[in-house]
Amino acid sequence: MKFFATGRYFRSDGHYYGRRLYLISDNNPFMPSGDGSYVGMNPYRKYSFQGKLSYYIIPAIKLSYSLFVDDNKNSYYDHGYSLVPDGNKSHFNDNLHQNTIINHTISNSSFQTLKISYSQSNYKGYVFEDLFDPRYVKPEIGNPQSGYTFRTGGNQSDRYKRDLTTIIGKYDIVSQVNKEHKLTLGLEYRTHDLYQFYTAFRSNPSSPLDSLHDIVYPAPNTPGREEYKKKPSEFHAYLQDKMEYEDFIVNFGVRYDIFDPNTNVPSDPRNPHYSPLFPSGMKKADIKQQVSPRFSVAFPISATGVIYGSYGHFFQVPNFDQLYRGISDLPNGKTTFIIGSETGETGEFETVVGNPDLKSESTVKYELGLQQVLYSDVVMYLTAYYSDIRNWVQVELIETYDTRKYARFINRDYANVTGFIVSMEKRFSGLWAANLDYTYQIAKGNASDPQDALNRARNNEEPEKTLIPLDWDQRSTLNFSVTTGKTGSWMLGLIGRLGSGTPYTADRFFNPVDITFRNDRTKPSFVSFDMRFEKFFSFGKSRVSLFAYIYNLFDRLNEVVVYGSSGRAGIDYNTKFAGDIVGLHTIDDYVQNPTFYSEPRQIRIGMSISY
């Protein structure tokens, strides 16, 4: 019997700080009552434990059990709340993962594996745990009274709870049938149990409190509240034959995927509400399935060189939010979709709802490469690739029979990715090792954000009809690492990352050239270096390691988000139209948003002991 166990505690105050100038109950910008102390606004705390137990029942059968649990708490920086940090909500997440695996060696050429997995993840977020905590204030408290202005009180009013339990059963068998053929068969079944709850107390200033001065939340099955339970399931099967011949190797496989959203959808999108008078208004969402062939080949061109290529289809289930957002479970077990504004007034596409009938994203990938040994310890790789992505998710805009307007997710858009990678690897010898890779990539599609069509409709703009650079379209990246040291004594490493900027959309008002599409300009380039040093000591059967990690070695603040008017993170030309500021800060204080920059230099020093 063998066992392994490890535990970890990690805590960080984060690198974004706010100042408690105002309290949640404050409302007058010129009469703050906070203590003025600086408060970390993206703290993070984590407890985790991992253990594994292995036991041979008989020499041919091995039983393994592994357990992983963790408990996390964190906050996300909200620039608007940086002067009233107590109003920013906290997020909680705990996870439990258990795996039981049976490995059975059938013969010298065959083995099979059975895996049962149970996972549970629980998420929740709020300012105060009690929905009716008296410290909550009305939604209009502390609202900014001018542009480029921080909040002067108040709290985030929304809260959520999301629980997901997943059970997986997986079986694999591998057999070397003969010298040339190695067959692999796999079966997998997944079942999910999903619970989602979201609400926020009313944002209508005329009625945020009831007659007892208590917070009022939207009633069940009304706008502003979401609550449902869903049990989708998946089935996957694959068969692969690895054929090894004297001059080449071929892999051919086929995969079959099924996904059942296990819920209902409106028969007519213009009538998304369930009514017992018209039970046929809802229908069961279709089961999605796909057969995905995959093929790869590799053959030598010399004693030290190999050419390889691959082709394959891939199946990606939509995320659950895109399937179930806006769904509400009725007491009679039926499902309805909640659309419209919380106040009951019709608006211009205020609501985005999920679509359980979404097709799965389908990607076809092509790859061609060369592997060449240059020296005994130096290898070069050249790889060209192309991905064709169909059923890209976007939204369609719908007007109901009673003139309400909403948007729902559909499969409408398309994207493709083209690029090549040149890399070199020097294996560790002569006290040093190194890796270098350069990637050139073009990523284009109809839109990066699934809600792009909705945003355009709100701005009275036409939908995008051409392929544009996607948000992650980083044309050039160069990564390298150099490691030197003496095995078992010390190690020093340097990692560098350099990249061209990603796209952004320029502000039309401040650009003389007419802009006809989004993501027409490029952000500044990205440069980052990390360093690691580790020293080892031995004391009997114990081994001690002293280490130091330095992230962002040169403390470079890369601009990851920019203003459309200037293309820079700290300059916004729109401030000239801001007018007077109502508050105890300047416009520049607001423009300098720390989340627009990469993390500053971080140094970690530690010690590890192993037995």
> How do residues 31-57 score in pLDDT, each as one tens digit?
999 999 999 999 999 999 999 999 999
Q: Is residue 611 part of a domain?
A: yes
Task: Quote the Cα angle for 95-98-99, to 5°.
Answer: 145
* Number of structural domains the chain divides into: 1
Could you tell me if residue 595 is inside a domain? yes
The values of phi and psi at residue 260, to 5°, are -115, 110
Q: Is residue 549 part of a domain?
A: yes
The pTM for the full model equals 0.89
Q: Is 45 helix (H, G, I), strand (E, B) or coil?
A: strand
596 domain-assigned? yes
Q: Output 345 or 163, whichever has higher pLDDT.
A: 163
**Average confidence (pLDDT) over 548-557:** 96
The CA distance from 577 to 307, in Å, is 60
For 211-215, 430-434, 544-548, which range has the lowest pLDDT when averaged over its residues?
Answer: 211-215
Residue 261 clears pLDDT 60, i.e. is over it? yes
Cα–Cα distance, 390 to 256 (Å, whole number): 18
Q: Is residue 511 pLDDT above 90, yes or no?
A: no
pLDDT of 140 reads 84
Tokens standing for 33? 């009552």
Q: Provide the pLDDT confidence category of residue 350 given band limits of 50, 70 and 90.
A: low
Average pLDDT over residues 561-590: 92
In a domain, 292, yes or no: no
Q: Does pLDDT of 364 surpass 50?
A: yes
The tens digit of pLDDT for each residue in 286-295 reads: 999 999 999 9
Predicted local confidence at residue 448, as pLDDT: 86
Percent of the chain whose pLDDT exceeds 90:
69
User: What is each CA distance from 438 to 356, 381, 461, 473, in whole angstroms?
Assistant: 40, 11, 38, 15
Average pLDDT over residues 259-264: 94
Asked if 327 and 321 count as a contact pair (C-beta separation under 8 A), the reply is no
Instruction: Specify the pLDDT at position 512.
Output: 64
Average pLDDT on 290-309 reads: 94
For residue 223, the model assigns a pLDDT of: 81
Average pLDDT over residues 336-364: 75
Residue type, 428: F
Report yes or no on 609 lying in a domain: yes
pLDDT confidence band for 345 (50 / 70 / 90): very low
**Mean pLDDT for the stretch of residues 487-500:** 94
Label each residue of 154-207 as H, E or C: CCCCEEEEEEEEEEEEEEEEEEECCCCEEEEEEEEEEEEEEEEEEEECCCCCCC
> What pLDDT score does 515 carry?
57
User: Is the pLDDT at 347 greater than 70, yes or no?
Assistant: no
pLDDT of residue 343: 40
Closest by Cα among 237, 384, 411 to 311: 384
Cα angle: 255, vertex 256, 258; to 5 degrees: 145
Residue 487 resides in a domain:
yes
537 CB-near residues (< 8 Å, 6+ apart): 543, 544, 545, 546
Q: Take residue 196 and report the two structure tokens written for it.
A: 């989602």
Residue 609 is part of which domain span?
483-507+525-611
Read off the pLDDT of residues 92-146 as tens digits, 9 standing for 90 and up: 999 999 999 999 999 999 999 999 999 999 999 999 999 888 899 888 899 998 9
Flag whether 539 is in a domain.
Answer: yes
Instruction: Tell me the average pLDDT of the chain.
Output: 90
Closest CA to 359 of 267, 287, 460: 287
Residue 210 has pLDDT above 80, yes or no: no
Q: What is the pLDDT of residue 488?
A: 84
pLDDT digits (tens, 9 = 90+) for 238-260: 999 999 998 899 999 999 999 99
| pLDDT number for residue 297 | 96
* Per-residue model confidence (pLDDT) at position 215: 65
Q: What percent of the chain has pLDDT over 70?
A: 94
HSE of 57 in the Cβ direction (CA atoms, 13 Å)? 10
